[in-house]
Structure 1
């Protein structure tokens, strides 16, 4: 027996439900869209617009249009290239150390040890500290007069007198890098720990039966299967390191002699200290372009890695 056809009233109610649900969903999304536009999209578009003008005040007004002149100044400004060089050094060194130390720490946290949960809780503490607190702490540790590092090294007779760790440009840059590595290595370790836990223990047990040493198991089993996790961490940490600003602002203010001035801090100085907002906006877009290039390169590497695993 065939089912009775729905009445006209039932069909109308069903149509109303189908049309009301998308409208209701759109209404719920409107506040989020407004917030995203106000916090993200509008500043991006406004910065792009400002980069084509000579703007020397944060207040609205009429400013001379200079086209691509600000971008041309970036290419010929030696201070920009010096800041990019320092940023590249900081990015490469900090990322390499964080991944190297993170792999070792992840292997340790993945081992079957007593109180493993306690070790994991302790390791996460440096990353849990706000960057401002971390930077200020290291500033006290590295103080040339009463810093803990000087006291420790002199008592161990490693150095004969107190050193000014933040007093020379290159040494200060390395000290800032060390502070960044101390904070972010734990984050890298936990990312890699998640990758380690996806590796089946049967593979290592079979390798042990075949007589493989721990070093051979690490290079031939762990590292190939951990490659995707390492690439993900490499993407995140490279982008974050290239944008470094806050830890430099707290520890050195870009000094001494601009020795720790990253491209992000250099942009801040040109835009807000020198009140050259047009030039600062162009510099900000330079950072965005570099980050997009890095992201595209890493995404391609991730896709190639995933394709090889399949």
Structure 2
């Protein structure tokens, strides 16, 4: 009830006091989880940032003198690092978009009624069960220059007139790695698209058919607008995952030939564990983070634009 001064009193105590008590109690409950998150994420982030602006003494294993942005300057003075930035963006977008398209098409197929659909669904999910290193070895054998299945198949089909060294050429090697990453990403995309397709009421398609809409029109004007809100977050997630690809690159090419398959994530590994320059490795890691955030922000703006356009035309 209100007191003589106008303040609300609950059980003899001001309402503001009770709210502060509830807030303090709530913070006390989540404090252990917050401390755990801070220990797992915040401390490594701060430590890596510290490494990026200092010289790390590899002999004494301790942080040395403060060098400011010298590590970043040395990185951008390296043409290979700048190339790795553009290569990583292209690599991430290629995998994200291709996995989205193929995942959506496969989900459309699995949403139909046919004999063996359940078995095919299990087969589609199998890449998830294959360890990344094993998957890298398998794809390496498939694209082997001498005994690879891909060379034999394309040669018999007349597509190529001689066996190709797929992993020995920078352009083809990068795309072989991308194919392996897309193969690993498709099951995730299929499951989400399939769930989205099965949540759409069939009455919408039946009503469109009654109104005279063709199969293409039902796909273009009914199905696609409903799937775009699912597709865009999946593209964002897959892009972030592609940016941190490492195991496939390590197994297939080790960043070669001549650095043509070195992405930012693999560049961080090279600086840290081959050149033993933890300062530059930490700086490269933060550049990778900033590049990822920048591209994700651009995609988010595109998503917002498409959403606003959809609402304005509705």
TM-score bin, normalised by smaller chain: 0.7 to 0.9
Given that residues 80 and 259 in structure 2 are in contact (C-alpha distance below 8 angstroms), is that contact kept between their aligned partners in structure 1? no
Q: Deviations over 1:121-145 (max 9, x none)?
A: 1111113322222111101111112
Shift of 1:212: 1.5
1:69 aligned partner: 70
The runs of 5 or more residues in structure 1 that have no matched partner are: 1-18
Instruction: Name the TM-score, length of structure 2 as normaliser.
Output: 0.83
Q: Deviations over 1:38-70 (max 9, x none)?
A: 432221111001111122517433512111111
Tell me, in whole angstroms, the C-alpha distance in 1 between the residues paired with 2:226 and 2:26.
Answer: 45
Given that residues 53 and 66 in structure 1 are in contact (C-alpha distance below 8 angstroms), is that contact kept between their aligned partners in structure 2? yes
2:144 aligned partner: 143
Shift of 1:206: 1.1
Shift of 1:162: 2.4
Q: Secondary structure at the match of 1:166?
A: helix
Shift of 1:25: 9.2
Given that residues 55 and 63 in structure 2 are in contact (C-alpha distance below 8 angstroms), is that contact kept between their aligned partners in structure 1? no
Q: 2:109 aligned with 1:116, yes or no?
A: no
Tell me, in whole angstroms, the C-alpha distance in 2 between the residues paired with 1:58 and 1:291.
Answer: 33
Shift of 1:218: 0.7
2:40 aligned partner: 39
1:234 aligned partner: 235
Q: Deviations over 1:175-234 (max 9, x none)?
A: 111111112122112211122122211111111112222111111111111110011111
Tell me, in whole angstroms, the C-alpha distance in 2 between the residues paired with 1:128 and 1:25.
Answer: 40
Q: Secondary structure at the match of 1:46?
A: helix
Q: 2:94 aligned with 1:100, yes or no?
A: no
Shift of 1:36: 3.3
Q: Deviations over 1:135-190 (max 9, x none)?
A: 11101111112222223333444333322110111110111111111121221122
Shift of 1:302: 4.5
Q: Secondary structure at the match of 2:166?
A: coil
Tell me, in whole angstroms, the C-alpha distance in 2 between the residues paired with 1:298 and 1:143.
Answer: 36
1:273 aligned partner: 274
Q: CA 1:121–1:145 in 2, change beyond 3 Å: closer, same or farther?
A: same
Tell me, in whole angstroms, the C-alpha distance in 2 between the residues paired with 1:238 and 1:28.
Answer: 31
Tell me, in whole angstroms, the C-alpha distance in 1 between the residues paired with 2:119 and 2:263.
Answer: 37
2:216 aligned partner: 215
Tell me, in whole angstroms, the C-alpha distance in 2 between the residues paired with 1:230 and 1:62.
Answer: 44
Shift of 1:102: 1.3
2:263 aligned partner: 262
Instruction: Name the TM-score, length of structure 1 as normaliser.
Output: 0.84
The runs of 5 or more residues in structure 2 that have no matched partner are: 1-20
Tell me, in whole angstroms, the C-alpha distance in 2 between the residues paired with 1:139 and 1:70.
Answer: 35
Going by fraction, where is strand more abundant, 1 or 2? 2
After superposition, the CA RMSD in angstroms is: 2.6
